[in-house]
Structure 1
Amino acid sequence: MIEYDVVIIGSGLYGIAAARCFLEIHPDRDLIILESEASIGGTWSKDRVYDDFWTQTPLGMAEFSDIPLEVPLEDQIHLGFFPARYITKYLEEYLDGHSYGGKTLRDRVLLGHKVTSAVKDASKWKVLCGASEEIFITRRLVVATGLTSKPHQPLLPNRDAFIGEVLHHRDFGQSSLLNNPRVVNIAVLGGGKSAADVVYACAKAGKSVSWILRENGCGPAAHGRAQGRGPYTNSISMFNTRFISSFSPSVFAPLSAWSWLLHGTNLGRKFVDWVWESADRQNRSHAGYQTRQGAGSGFEKLEPDTPVFWQNDGSGIDQRPDFWEVVAEKVNVFRSNITNLSETTIRLRDGSVLAADVLICATGWESALSFLNPQESARLGLPVLRKQERPEDAAKWSRLESAARDNILRRFPSLADPPVHFAREMATTPYRLYKGIAPLDDRTIVILGHIQVGNNFMAAECQALWATAYFDERLHLPSQIAMANEVALSNVWCRLRYLGKGQMGIWYYFDLVPYIDMLLADIKLRSYRRSWALDLFSPVTAKDIRRLHQEYVGCQGRGVRI
């Protein structure tokens, strides 16, 4: 049993950012990172990346603020996007290049340490790792497991009869199936961006690919153009400006005359609608779902069910120049449910019978928070089954959310009229974390990286700084009632703004800039802001926030509470 000042669970972007931030400000503290896998990096670990897995965040943004990421080969960059393996290399070198108190960040990572329970005893947490049976005691616990740790494996009818391989896309990078000449026919199940990446990789490798999307789900993800407009090299740079961000009705943005003009007036809402509808038409035209010449069977089924504004289908960037060409010409698309597996075939409800040597399930993720028991999870504001929620808590949140809904619709009337869409039933309560990070009544734990945003590097750094200030008790927190009202407001807004994807209250896809502005305003940090013109029209990049740690120390002093 060993005691630490800080224990971090998870070594992905958020865990690494938290470790660096805490140690930059408190270099003499004892800190350990527990990683369940055999390598660091989470989504970007060497066990999960593959050649055709590329970033959706461009150079200048896909990096931490203190060290730039470099891609040595120009032909490995397309409009700023590049292969994920460069992030893997960057993170490995990042751990070795940061040392505090005579220990590098890598020295502080324990691989193969899967946390099986975390229990609070008085003012300290007892964290148990199952395989090693080690116990770690800490006064400050950081949960940075993220949302892509535990694969969701779907129920497949008659799966045992299938003699081919069935794997989740998380394990695709470790597999050798693309180089195996005996693997000819590959089926990919799922409609999201991860499915699209796997489909593209398999088709590029010359495999015969069948892409299966459920008939009763949210439908295929929207794929935005990588190409930017005007002075912006790529579309992500455009969306990471404060000007373009203002066209998303975001609860994180402060009330202003500009926001009221855009979202509170009939003329403003018509203009905002026109902007989003133009972007949606451009994306659909670029893909050519209904018009592309030479497209294979079912290509038109990849057209999203809802406009990109609403995000009910999710979204991604077609960051390879030949993405649509490869998919259209080399992939057969089906939108139907799997009804049966036999030795070498997959039968669908529409009567299609697909030959398959391998079935890849790009079917998303489950909660990686099972090491917290339901009572602890409910207390902390983490998802629990609805039937496990106390009736008095359910009644309280129902009252708060009813008032919040009226508030949101007064501010953003356009959210009252969503399109026809697939509405998912949620078996669990949503996240109820203040600022998407902190429980309402426990200053000893934070939850980092349990949000969906367009740039996790920047979100990770800003969440880490906010969490450090929170542990240092350098934040002015409102009353618990005020915090609960803010959580209810955020959750209701998320459901109205992002429909099915927003049900858990953590989908902030178009809201990164106002979200980090809100976090940094809480800490009273401003070194990342520039002249009014640059602030409005230039994308927020990693170099803009590189002075935040120094500003924090200069303004607040080195805290003593962690």
Structure 2
Amino acid sequence: METLDLVVVGAGICGLAAAKAFHQINPNKSLAILDANSSLGGVWSKQRLYPGLKTNNMLGTYDYPDFPMDTETFGVKPGEHIPGEVMHDYLSKYAEKFDIADKIRYQHKSLTAEHQEGPEGGWILTVQNGETETRISARKLIMATGLASAPFLPHFRGQEVFGLPIFHGKDFLQHSDTLDSAKSVTVFGGTKSGWDVVYAYASKGIKVEWVIRESGHGPAWMAPPYVTPFKKWLEKLVNIRYLTWFSPCIWGTADGYEGMRKFYHQTAIGRAITDFFWSTLGNDVISLNKYDSHPETRKLKPWSEAMFTASSFSILNYPTDFFDVVRNGTVKVHIADVTHLSPGKVHLSDGAQLETDLLCCVTGWKHVPAIKFLPEGIDKELGIPHTPSTSEPYFTPNQVQRADDEILSRFPRLRNQPVQNKNLKPLVDNKGISTTDEINPSTALTPYTLYRFIAPPSATFLQTRDTAFAGVTSSFATALIAHAQSIWIYAYLNDKLPAKVLPPVTARANIEQPAKSIQDLQYETVLHARFGKWRYPAGHGSQFPDFVFDAVPYLDLLVGDLGLEVHRKKSWWREIVMPYGPEDYTDLVAEFAGKTTVD
């Protein structure tokens, strides 16, 4: 059986960053990156580059800090969104530059990971490559499969006789020939990917029946690239430190401006100013998109409040006005539930019968890792989603209640939770829709409960330091967070974090500062995990860390843990009003390497 110092599962943005940091800091350690696909990139792998796919971000906000995406090399100009093919090429060049491309093992699907007993832990992975199963021993394991790897495709009553293609948006590329052959299609789902599929068909002149559940979350917030009366670049707007203060954020004090945050969230006048900011932002988007100018576009007006919407607050990145295909009748919007299918037809709760050539479902993802962790029950120790039990090690009713009390005390505005849809119910609870899969997104699971959204907080794993999760956050700052997390993960796995951040392992001596207790660490983990339920009820906050305006303070948290400079601008004024971007973290690895010794 092969033994490796580190195994990274997943070769997407976060997995590549984690592997690169480990290899860059300690190149003599053995490393393998396992990926089930035949190419790297995760959501940007060749298998998922459906027609028209682009980043929401424009050039300059989706780079790794130490690998800029320049126009000369990649052909993307300032002010342009990045095509999917370019993102794949960029990630390939990143892997080559940092000498990890040959560490990737493609079409290697990780089936199980069994944790080993003893003070040093480690894992035995069962991996499938074609018809062959092998076992790998890993001293350290980084799970980087992300939140958009395993699609959730519901089962419809009558689909056996439907007689036409039914596929998830993840597999749009494999059905792209229908862009030339279909006359009428049905798209089910109102997320950003749903908008993409609708536009791809409609821009070809194909009739689109767009079904958005009346019992669901409604259409995604879709903003122009530039918003507010001052026409600010949205991806940069959310990373301006001053504007992050308007977001009630439980880890926000990591930025060092606790007084400002208390003013905006714990005083009446501060909350009034905050409410005005969110109202202005939301109303500006609604006004710019002119939803009320046409009966069909009115159906696409968001049902949720902008303040309570997380990374599903997306961006119109299409070459022409999306709403033209709605106004001219190419797209018909149905706010209704799917009741069943019959030969060649999709039946809706409003009585409509849609004759169609296919059904594309943009119905979300299984956010639980597909790999099975052993021994049974270890999910609770790891801090990954699982069915709650009476033997929770730290996500206990008392801890949850304590966290809720603190959240609502610090942020009274969150007591007033919005009612997005009084008839809201999980997708598979709709009549005519079920699931044959053992992983059902509607099941009441615990949220990801990881310290810093990375590390299992149980005593076992704080001792072995052999497991980390990369990329279980969702935000506009994907590459920035991947970069910072990669260094934090290296420090964590190698016991290089200060005692005030993590309790030291038993063998560590000469502690010069008070160590954080396991109990304090576990409560802080529950506090941060529970926060999403209150802060982002219109997003996925109750399942995993899903945020927008809270990315910069999260970066502050990680960078501060590493003992590095949090305030990285050249003056106090720029620190407050200039947006943070990749250029501010270019030297982060070198700074960390200069402060630590390599084992």
Q: Give the TM-score normalised by the residue count of structure 1.
A: 0.93
- Give the 3 Å change call, closer, same or farther, for CA 21–230 of structure 1 in structure 2: farther
Deviations 1:355-409 (A, max 9, x none): 21111111111123342245121121111123xx2x1328962101111112111
Shift of residue 474, structure 1, vs aligned partner? 1.3
Q: What is the correspondence of 1:346-385 to structure 2 with a 5 Å cutoff?
A: 346-366=346-366, 367-373=368-374, 374-385=376-387
**Residue in 2 aligned with 1:222?**
221
1:545 deviates by 0.8
* Counterpart contact for 2:74–2:86, Cα < 8 Å: no
Query: What residue is the counterpart of 2:586 in the other structure?
Result: 546
The letter of the residue matching 1:554 is G
**1:130-529 equivalent positions in 2, closer than 5 A:** 130-131=128-129, 132-181=132-181, 183-228=182-227, 234-254=233-253, 256-292=258-294, 298-311=296-309, 314-320=312-318, 321-329=320-328, 330-366=330-366, 367-373=368-374, 374-386=376-388, 389=389, 391-393=390-392, 397-422=396-421, 426-441=443-458, 442=461, 443-475=465-497, 476=499, 477=502, 478-499=516-537, 501-526=540-565, 529=568
Q: How much has 1:426 moved relative to structure 2?
A: 4.7
Q: Is the 8 A contact 1:13 1:460 kept in 2?
A: yes
Contact 2:163 2:343 in 1 (8 A): yes
Are the counterparts in 1 of residues 340 and 346 from structure 2 also a CA contact under 8 Å? yes
Q: 1:341 to 1:72 in 2, by over 3 A?
A: farther
Secondary structure of the corresponding residue to residue 133 of structure 1: strand
Cα distance in 2 for partners of 1:229, 1:218 equals 24
CA distance in 1, matches of 2:207, 2:302: 24
Name the aligned partner's letter for residue 553 of structure 1: A
Write the distance in 2 (CA, Å) between the matches of 1:357 and 1:379: 47
**Letter paired with 1:496:** W
* Contact map agreement 2:380 2:393 (CA 8 A) in 1: no
Question: Counterpart of 1:538 in structure 2: which amino acid?
Answer: M
* Contact 1:6-1:32 at 8 Å conserved across structures: yes
User: Displacement of 1:82 after TM fit?
Assistant: 2.9
- 1:138 and 1:328 map into 2 onto residues whose CA distance is 56
* Contact residue 185 and residue 358 of structure 2 kept, 8 A: yes
Aligned equivalents of 1:393 and 1:527: distance in 2? 35
Matched, 1:116 2:156: no
> How far apart are residue 228 of structure 1 and its match?
4.2
1:37-72 Cα offsets, whole Å, 9 max, x none, are 111101111111134212112211211112211346
Residue 141 of structure 2 is aligned to residue 107 of structure 1: no
CA distance in 2, matches of 1:364, 1:302: 19
Q: Which stretch of structure 1 is more off in the superposition, 401-410 or 516-525?
A: 401-410
2: CA distance, partners of 1:202 / 1:462: 38
Write the deviation string for residues 120-167 of structure 1: whole angstroms up to 9, x where unpaired: 112220011134311111111000000011010112120011122111
Letter aligned with residue 114 of structure 2: V
| Contact in 2 for aligned 1:188/1:360 (Cα 8 Å) | yes
Task: Give the conservation status (yes or no) of the 8 Å contact 1:6–1:138.
Answer: yes
Please give the secondary structure, in 1, of the residue aligned with 2:57.
coil
Q: C-alpha separation between the residues in 1 aligned to 2:343 and 2:206?
A: 19
SS of the aligned residue for 2:278 comes to helix
1:421–1:228 distance in 2 versus 1, CA, 3 Å = closer
* Cα 1:492/1:205, change in 2 over 3 Å: same
Q: Distance in 2 between matches of 1:312 and 1:236?
A: 13
> Does the 8 A contact of 1:219 with 1:313 survive in 2?
no
Q: Does the Cα contact within 8 Å between 1:210 and 1:331 map onto a contact in 2?
A: yes
Residue 499 of structure 1: how far off its partner (Å):
1.3
SS in 1 for 2:537: helix
CA distance in 2, matches of 1:370, 1:199: 32
The unaligned stretches of length 5 or more in structure 1 are 100-104
Superposition deviation, residue 6 in structure 1: 0.4
Given the alignment of the two structures, is residue 94 of structure 1 paired with residue 94 of structure 2, yes or no?
A: yes
Q: Look up the SS of the partner of 2:139 in the other structure.
A: strand
Alignment partner of 2:222: what SS? strand
Deviation at 1:542, TM superposition (A): 1.2
| One-letter amino acid of the counterpart of residue 281, structure 1 | N
Percent identity, aligned pairs only, is 30
Q: Report deviation, 1:508.
A: 2.1
For 1:312 and 1:145, how far apart are their aligned partners in 2?
21
Moved more, 34-43 or 63-72: 63-72
Q: Which amino acid in the other structure matches residue 478 of structure 2? A: N
Cα distance change on mapping 1:312 and 1:226 into 2, 3 Å: closer
Q: CA deviation at 1:421?
A: 2.4
Superposed displacement of residue 75, structure 1: 9.9
Give 3-state SS (helix, strand or coil) of 1:435's partner.
Answer: coil
Counterpart-to-counterpart distance in 2, 1:77 and 1:228: 20
8 Å CA contact retained: 2:74, 2:90: no
> Match of 1:290, SS?
helix
**Amino acid aligned to 2:3:** E
| Counterpart AA for 1:525 | L
Label 1:506 to 1:37 Cα distance change in 2 as closer, same or farther (>3 A): same
Shift of 1:324: 2.5
Determine the structure 1 residue equivalent to 2:29. Answer: 29
Deviations 1:426-453 (A, max 9, x none): 5211111101000013111001111111
Secondary structure at 2:451 match in 1: coil
Q: Is this contact kept in 1: 2:7–2:32, CA < 8 A?
A: yes
SS at match of 1:274: helix
Q: 1:472 Cα deviation (Å)?
A: 1.7
Separation in 2, partners of 1:407, 1:518: 19
SS in 1 for 2:303: coil
Q: Give the secondary-structure state (helix, strand or coil) at the position aligned to 1:128.
A: strand
CA–CA distance in 1 between the matches of 2:96 and 2:410? 48
Residue by residue over 1:153-188, the C-alpha shift from the partner in whole angstroms, topping out at 9 and shown as x without a partner, is: 11212001112211111111233334432x111111
Consecutive unaligned residues of structure 2, counting only runs of 5 or more, are: 426-441, 503-515
Deviations 1:178-227 (A, max 9, x none): 4432x111111111111111111111122111111111111111112211
Pairing partner for 2:125 from 106, 116, 127: 127
User: Does the C-alpha gap of structure 1 residues 81 and 231 become closer, same or farther in structure 2, counting only changes over 3 Å?
Assistant: farther
Q: CA RMSD in A?
A: 2.1
Residues 484-540 of structure 1: CA distance to partner in whole angstroms, max 9, x if unpaired? 111121122211111152111421233111111111100011287012222222221
CA shift, 1:310, in A, is: 0.7
Instruction: Check conservation: 2:311, 2:476, Cα contact below 8 A.
Output: no
1:535 lines up with 2:530 in the alignment: no
Paired letter, 2:586 = R
Change (3 A) 1:394 1:421: farther
| 1:365 partner SS | coil
The equivalent of 1:102 in structure 2 is: none
| Structure 1 residues 26 and 309: CA distance shift in structure 2, 3 A | same
Count the aligned residue pairs: 546
Structure 1 residue identity aligned to 2:467: I
